[in-house]
């Protein structure tokens, strides 16, 4: 047994949830692969093969465990450049943006790489090709839908990215040596794998809905995330009620809503949405993973930040801290501009007026959800004076219009994984957007873990009144997790801006 094999086997035997999603184990005596938290009896070390990803295990002909369900394992947060690139490509795949070779070329072009580089990185980091990874992701999503929902096999085939039911059936049988219908028994008993009824009592949102699980790596400060998002919500578009997150959804031409609540005992979020959104399911789930920072590695992040005497007490108090992301990058950027130089509460009120003026009215089962998020196209054609009449300076209104026009023209992208440095320079080139706002957008919309708004008053106060230049120097030991350090400092101080 090699030292690496021994270390992984010890981690497997410990069933420590911090290793969930870090590696997978294939058991040669059964042909099945599991998460390291699986409750099945620990296999002999000689029967174990370890893999960095579910795709690599499936390529080696192992089938996913029906007990621990590898599709629920949280994803790995990027630690170095190669892992970051691999994670970005996986993110695009999860969002349904990689369907063929030409799509891979578009992704490569967008990030400034060649498709050959991407293939080489994925092969080195995950042990598979891009299309092998696509197939694994599709099959694991299909397996989850088969297990947790009552969607028809045809609906599941298309929702998980297959172009036909026949291709789905062939791929499922080829990979898992069983027909998809073998998994329908569990779905008939439970919508989420735990025996919870689909009826939801008298819940008004229970009409023709689907509920799925999204796994995360504990600890997870759910209430902290909800508190942060709820205080900065765009009223009418999103809301926090009864420990639950609600929002309207527009993906492409499809619209609907989503309801998210926490199940800490199972380390999962339960995501409920109308059946009509299954056509854009990969994109919906990818955006929610970003919004709730589900791919974070608190063990890695905390180990780094706890080495600093200033941050150590905060890390100890809240080891499950997450950096909330954005469901829609343009929405987040507008909300950040609206929050400049006013209180969080005042900005939330202003954002609600903005949504009512520029967002389309929509019907949902929830009284607090009344509008879809404003489209950049509509704002780009708006009169800045009309925006200013909502209660802001004319310069700020013109800034929002300029931002919208840059997005519509394709000059500015505000999506997770985009080049943070380049995007921040584009943002500050827009009159009215400063470094603080650019860092805030990078932190949340771009999901950049190393954003650091050194100009922030609370950050500087916590650092003893340092100048921005000295604050930048002081933050270097926190890299690459300065976004998380910033959230800790904000929590230690008063409510942050924006």
Which residues is 212 bridged to in the sheet?
271
> What are the residue ranges of helices labelled H in 62-212?
81-94, 101-111, 115-126, 130-148, 153-159, 165-176, 184-189
pLDDT digits (tens, 9 = 90+) for 338-376: 999 899 999 999 999 999 999 999 999 999 999 999 999
> Which of 396, 312, 310 is closest to 351 using CA atoms?
396
**Sequence spans of domains, the chain:** 3-71, 81-188
What is the C-alpha to C-alpha distance for residues 206 and 259, in angstroms, rounded to an integer? 11
pLDDT band at 143 (very low <50, low <70, confident <90, very high): very high
Of 188 and 176, which is predicted with more confidence? 176
Decide if 383 is catalytic.
Answer: no
The CATH fold of domain 3-71? DNA Methylphosphotriester Repair Domain (3.40.10)
Q: Is the peptide bond before 371 cis (omega within 30 degrees of 0)?
A: no
What is the C-alpha to C-alpha distance for residues 22 and 297, in angstroms, rounded to an integer? 9
303 half-sphere exposure, CB direction, 13 A CA radius: 5
Tokens of 237: 């578009």
| Mean of pLDDT over the chain | 87
pLDDT band at 150 (very low <50, low <70, confident <90, very high): confident
pLDDT digits (tens, 9 = 90+) for 317-327: 999 999 999 99
Is the pLDDT confidence value at 481 over 80? yes
Tokens of 196: 């919870």
What is the C-alpha to C-alpha distance for residues 384 and 381, in angstroms, rounded to an integer? 9
Say what the pLDDT of residue 407 is: 97
Q: Do domains 3-71 and 81-188 have the same CATH topology?
A: no
What is the C-alpha to C-alpha distance for residues 395 and 378, in angstroms, rounded to an integer? 19
**What's phi and psi for 236, nearest 5 deg?**
95, -30
Contact 148, 191 (CB under 8 A): yes
Is the pLDDT confidence value at 292 over 90? yes
> Which of 498, 417, 424, 404 is closest to 456 using CA atoms?
498
Residues 6+ apart with CB under 8 A from 446: 329, 414, 415, 416, 417, 418, 420, 423
- Give the rounded percent of residues in the chain with a pLDDT score beyond 90: 67
- The gap from C-alpha 303 to its chain's centroid, in whole angstroms, comes to 22
Q: Is the peptide bond before 219 cis (omega within 30 degrees of 0)?
A: yes
Tokens of 275: 């059946």
Say what the pLDDT of residue 257 is: 98
The catalytic position among 34, 38, 48, 65 is 34
Terminal Cα distance for the chain, rounded? 53
Superfamily of domain 81-188: Homeodomain-like (1.10.10.60)
Average pLDDT over residues 398-403: 98
Task: Say how many C-beta atoms besides its own lie within 10 A of residue 6's C-beta.
Answer: 11
The catalytic position among 20, 293, 418, 456 is 456
DSSP-assigned letters across all residues of 406-420: HHHTTS----TTS-H
What is the C-alpha to C-alpha distance for residues 67 and 61, in angstroms, rounded to an integer? 18
Decide if 456 is catalytic.
Answer: yes
Is the pLDDT confidence value at 99 over 90? no
Is the pLDDT confidence value at 294 over 70? yes
pLDDT band at 69 (very low <50, low <70, confident <90, very high): confident
Residues 6+ apart with CB under 8 A from 238: 229, 245, 246, 247, 248, 327, 369
Identify the sign of the CA torsion 366, 371, 373, 375: positive
């Amino acid at each position: 047994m090699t030292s690496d094999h021994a270390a992984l086997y010890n981690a497997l035997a410990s069933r420590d949830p911090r290793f969930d999603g870090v590696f997978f184990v294939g058991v040669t005596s059964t042909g099945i692969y599991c998460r390291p938290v699986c409750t099945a009896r620990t296999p002999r070390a000689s029967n174990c093969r370890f893999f960095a990803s579910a795709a690599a295990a499936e390529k080696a002909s192992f089938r996913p465990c029906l007990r621990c369900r590898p599709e629920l394992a949280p994803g790995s947060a990027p630690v170095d450049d190669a892992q970051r690139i691999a994670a970005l490509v996986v993110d695009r795949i999860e969002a349904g943006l990689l369907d063929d070779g030409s799509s891979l070329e578009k992704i490569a072009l967008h990030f400034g790489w060649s498709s050959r580089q991407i293939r080489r990185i994925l092969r080195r980091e995950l042990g598979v090709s891009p299309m092998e990874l696509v197939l694994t992701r599709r099959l694991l999503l299909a397996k989850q839908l088969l297990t947790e929902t009552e969607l028809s096999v045809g609906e599941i085939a298309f929702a998980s990215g297959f172009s036909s039911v026949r291709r789905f059936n062939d791929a499922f049988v080829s990979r898992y040596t069983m027909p998809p219908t073998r998994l329908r028994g569990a779905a008939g008993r439970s919508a989420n794998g735990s025996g919870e009824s689909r009826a939801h009592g008298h819940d008004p949102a229970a009409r023709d809905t689907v509920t799925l699980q999204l796994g995360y790596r504990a600890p997870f400060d759910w209430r902290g995330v909800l508190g942060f998002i709820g205080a900065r919500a765009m009223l009418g578009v999103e809301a926090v009620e009864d420990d639950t997150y609600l929002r309207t959804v527009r993906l492409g031409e499809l619209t609907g809503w989503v309801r998210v609540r926490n199940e800490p005992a199972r380390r999962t979020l339960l995501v409920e949405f109308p059946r009509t959104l299954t056509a854009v399911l990969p994109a919906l789930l990818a955006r929610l993973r970003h919004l709730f920072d589900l791919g974070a590695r608190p063990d890695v992040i905390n180990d780094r930040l706890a080495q600093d005497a200033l941050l150590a007490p905060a890390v100890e108090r809240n080891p499950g801290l997450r950096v909330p992301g954005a469901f829609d990058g343009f929405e987040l950027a507008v909300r950040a501009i609206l929050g400049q130089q006013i209180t969080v509460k005042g900005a939330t009120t202003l954002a609600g007026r903005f949504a009512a003026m520029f967002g389309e009215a929509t019907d949902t089962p929830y009284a607090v959800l009344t509008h879809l998020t404003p489209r950049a196209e509509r704002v780009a054609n708006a009169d800045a004076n009309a925006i200013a009449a909502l209660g802001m300076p004319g310069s700020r209104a013109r800034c929002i219009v300029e931002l919208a026009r840059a997005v519509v023209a394709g000059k500015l992208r505000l999506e997770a994984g985009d080049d943070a440095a380049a995007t921040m320079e584009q943002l500050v080139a827009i009159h009215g957007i400063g470094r603080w706002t650019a860092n805030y957008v990078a932190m949340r919309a771009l999901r950049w873990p190393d954003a650091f708004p050194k100009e922030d008053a609370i950050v500087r106060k916590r650092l003893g009144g340092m100048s921005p230049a000295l604050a930048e120097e002081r933050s270097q030991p926190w890299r690459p997790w300065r976004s998380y350090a910033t959230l800790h400092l904000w929590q230690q101080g008063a409510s942050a801006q924006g």
